[in-house]
Amino acid sequence: MFLNTVITFLYYVLSAFIAFIILRNIIKTKSAQEAVLYCIMIIPFVLRVLRLK
């Protein structure tokens, strides 16, 4: 069970990290299509970090 807790914690850290990378890509990209795509991609990661879904 301790290992489960550690993995769960790491999962949230990873989710936050990926959300951050996506946000960074939204800012950096020069393609409008990619920006829209990243904006859709980021939604589940943020909802996970906030423990809403």
Partner 1 sequence: MLNKKTLVAIKMVSICLSVIVMALSGIDFYKHRNYKEPVVVSEYVTQVRKLSDYFADLKDTINDCNIYIFEGSEPGGTVLLIGGTHPEEPGANLTAELIVENLRVKKGKVIIAIRANRSASTVTRPGDAYPQFYHIETPWGVKKFRMGDRWSNPLDSWPDPEVYVHYPSGQLLAYMDIRNFNRTWPGKKDGTITEKTNYAFMQLIEKEKVDLFIDLHEAELEYPVISTIVSHQRGVDIAAMTSMILSSTEFKIGMEYSPKELHGLSHREVGDHSRAISLLYESPEPFLDRVRGITDEKLLLTGKDPFVMKAGQFGLLYEKIDENGWPIDVRVGRHVSTFLTTLEMWNEFYPDLTIDVEGVPRYKEVITKGVGYYFRNPSEVPKNRVFDE
Can you give the binding site for partner 1, defined by CB under 8 A? Answer: 1, 4, 7-8, 11, 26-27, 30, 32, 35-36, 39-40, 42-43, 46-47, 50-53
Contact 30, 46 (CB under 8 A): no
Q: How far is the CB of 20 from partner 1 (least distance, A)?
A: 14
- Residue number with CB closer to partner 1 (17 or 39): 39
What is d(CA 13, CA 16) in angstroms, rounded to the nearest whole number? 5
What is d(CA 4, CA 23) in angstroms, rounded to the nearest whole number? 28
Q: How far is the CB of 34 from partner 1 (least distance, A)?
A: 10
